[in-house]
A and B are shown apart, each in its own frame.
Chain A
Amino acid sequence: MGTVRREVIIERSADDVWARVGDPATTNTWFPGMVDVKVEGKIRTITTAAGLTLPEEIVTLDPILRRFQYRVTAPILRNHLGTIDVFDLGADRSLVSYSTDCEPDAMALIIGGAAGGALAELRHQLEASGEEH
């Protein structure tokens, strides 16, 4: 199992961050390279900028814990679990952790790399919108 963890501190409240992270249907608005998302019940299907369509299962969507977990179920992955946690650091500050556990190992680096780009974009968007307010 390959495991990769990326994290970012965002100068916004945990509730604000969770409002974005906790909506699996709009992840594509802050995840570069994810161009389309469709959610039907527990099944999410994403389309990447490279034209790849990946089916996913939503495993956990817990607004109290502020945790979103999903599993890519495409056959190219033997096993996958993506976990996004939002931690309240107080004073309108949050820590977002995005973990990727994956077999084959190498895919963890690819998905984890994209997740890192997504966290950077999430921070950019949230902090920019924070300045506007």
Chain B
Amino acid sequence: MGRKILFVTTDQQRYDTLGCNGGTIARTPVIDALAAEGIRYERAVPQSVVCMPSRSTIITGQYPSTHGVWMNGVPLPVDAPSVADELQRNGYRTALIGKAHFEPFMDPFGRFTENLLARSGAPTAMHRDAADGTMHPHRGFDHLEFATHGAAGMLHYAQWLMTNHPEAIGMYYSAIDASFNVNAAGGGATGAAQVHDNAIPREWYHTDWVADRTIAWLDSVADGDDWFCWMSFPDPHHPWDPPSSELGRVDWRDVPLPSGYPEDRATREQILDRKPRHWRLWYDGTLVSNYEAPKEWIPATLTADQVREVNARNAIECELIDEALGRVLAAIARRGWGDGVDVVFTTDHGELQGDFGLMFKGPYHVDGLMRLPLVWRPAPSARVAPAVVTKPVGLVDLAPTFATIAGLAPREWMQGKPLPGDDGDADARGFERVLTEWDSELFGVAVHLRTITRTGWVCTAYRPGYVHDGTEGELYNNADDPLQRENLWDDPAYSAIRRDLVADLWDHQPQLHVPKLAVEAPV
């Protein structure tokens, strides 16, 4: 019998939203306890700052350039490598419950397996392995139950709500507007975009549904089975519409402004003007270069109170996740599995959440989007000493970590390395750099970024695009400038470190997926 794996992801959660990472708004005692018992990573970096490419990196252990999901709306090929498939072929029972998003949500033609599975009610779909002709479940999962941010669409949670509590469907915020763009409509007390008062009872909310369905699946597993369960919460991704019954947890009026939000407008704009052009163009509402932010929302209109209210609601959603995870861990303990279960907690990417006067996400490779919460609590039976790892690691390292936990050698297609147990281990195994990519092409507007994170530094080189000529870049000294306000790219005093980082960046670019995959939907 091997070690069982509970893999917990959230969506769009910042590093600083957890108590164990210094967060002070949300109470996250369950995750904090896992961090205290396990390994907490202080510089965990995604390989993309949007969902589909990042989640594809998690499951394949490959960079976006290699797995081919180069922007949202590009489906991960059904035959892409999958760590879940590795585990399933080696005797693990496997499940993914919650948000998958390897395939587009917007699917009126019913072309994608995730959506079709939800319609059919089948626990998985079987595909033939082209190499050996054997049949295997979709992406290696025996059991799939999907949810996303609310009740729209055709996924399992929406269908469950429609069947059991149809009156709750309309209580959620509509994340997409009538033009099929990300909704800019505001709500709450401050009118902040994507904030909404949701009358849904807490027990019907998707966070609790994901935990309930996870517990139900665990109940179906035999005591002696090895299992890998990816429990994937859709929150705290916008819309920020937690159940209204929970709003008393955090009064937005009491929430301090985040350190990344320069309240003075002139200061904010000076900071933005030292970054490549698309930063300020977006802020002013002149250019929305990507689909993931509301097209009709102008960041310059964001108020300090709106930042407070968004942060308050985000914190409430983080608390609900923490409590839901606590329920699942209690269920695991009741099964007598507690000593043999590894728990890994992370997210797919961050959220700007007021930094620089911006919200949501896009081609902006700074800590708000790139510094992620990551906690690995190894199975107590493995007797791994608690540690804090400061060296850079990536979500690309998760797949080989899961393989190693299961006693399997990481496969040759995995581009990361098993996560280090401490900084000494990280040094010994060469955890020196992590790369992040951004590519988007939306109705003629192209943005292409390549970023390297090394201890103390974040450096982004721009390739030619709609408003970039390929000479632009960003260079931040994280030690001296943790808020990444001073772009040192053009500062002659830093030209040597810039040259070194850029050379390192281009020397380590991953292989390209050929042919380039097509965008099939906005998201």
Q: Which residues of A contact B (CB under 8 A)?
A: 2-3, 6, 32-34, 48-52, 103-110, 113-114, 116-117
Contacts and interface: CB of A to CB of B under 8 A. Distances in A.
A107 B119 CA distance: 22
A109 B111 contact: no
A33 B519 CA distance: 17
Nearest to B116: A49
A30 B522 CA distance: 23
A110 B181 contact: no
Interface of B: 73, 104, 106-111, 115-116, 119, 154, 178-181, 291, 443, 518-522
Contacts of A51: 110
A55 to B, nearest CB: 14
Contacts of B108: 33, 48, 50, 52, 110, 114
A105 B520 CA distance: 13
A110 to B, nearest CB: 5
B180 A107 contact: yes
Given A2-B443, A3-B443, A49-B116, A106 B522 contact: yes
Given A33-B111, A34-B109, A114-B109, A109 B179 contact: no
Contacts of B73: 109, 113
A114 B518 CA distance: 11
A113 B104 contact: yes
B115 A50 contact: yes
A104 B181 contact: yes
A106 B181 contact: yes
B180 A106 contact: yes
Contact of B109 (A32, A103, A104, A106): A32
B291 A48 contact: no
Contacts of A6: 518
B179 A104 contact: yes
A109 B522 contact: yes
A9 to B, nearest CB: 13
* Residue among A33, A51, A110, A116 having the largest count of chain B Cβ atoms under 10 Å: A110
Nearest to A117: B111
A49 B179 contact: no
A49 B111 contact: yes
15 contacts: A3-B443, A32-B111, A33-B110, A34-B109, A49-B110, A50-B154, A104-B178, A105-B443, A107-B180, A109-B106, A109-B519, A110-B180, A110-B521, A113-B521, A117-B109
B443 A48 contact: no
Nearest to A33: B109
Given A33-B108, A110-B521, A117-B109, 7 more contacts: A49-B110, A50-B115, A103-B179, A105-B181, A108-B443, A109-B73, A109-B521
A contact patch SS: mixed
A116 B443 contact: no
Nearest to A54: B108
Nearest to B104: A113
A100 B121 CA distance: 33
Given A2-B443, A104-B180, A48 B518 contact: no
Q: Which 9 A-B pairs have the closest CB atoms?
A: A33-B109, A49-B110, A113-B520, A104-B179, A106-B180, A50-B110, A33-B111, A114-B109, A106-B522
A103 to B, nearest CB: 8
* Residue among A6, A50, A116 having the largest count of chain B Cβ atoms under 10 Å: A50
Contacts of B179: 103-106
A51 B443 CA distance: 28
A49 B119 CA distance: 10
Given A48-B109, A49-B116, A107-B180, A117 B522 contact: no
Nearest to B75: A113
A2 B291 CA distance: 13
A60 B29 CA distance: 64
B180 A116 contact: no
B170 to A, nearest CB: 18
A72 B420 CA distance: 54
Nearest to A78: B179
B110 A116 contact: no
B121 to A, nearest CB: 15
A50 B522 contact: no
Contacts of B154: 50
Contacts of B291: 106
A48 B110 CA distance: 7
A2 to B, nearest CB: 6
B109 A49 contact: yes
A113 B521 CA distance: 6
Nearest to A108: B443
A110 B110 contact: no
Nearest to B291: A106
A105 B106 CA distance: 13
A132 to B, nearest CB: 22
Nearest to A46: B109
A46 to B, nearest CB: 10
B113 to A, nearest CB: 12
A6 B518 CA distance: 9
Contact of B520 (A3, A106, A117): A117
A50 B109 contact: yes
B180 to A, nearest CB: 4
A48 B178 CA distance: 20
A106 B107 CA distance: 12
A23 B110 CA distance: 23
Contacts of B106: 106, 109-110
A110 B252 CA distance: 38
Contacts of B178: 104
Contacts of A52: 108
A116 B519 CA distance: 9
Nearest to B73: A109
A114 B111 contact: yes
Contacts of B104: 110, 113
A116 B73 CA distance: 13
Contacts of A113: 73, 104, 518-521
A114 B75 CA distance: 12
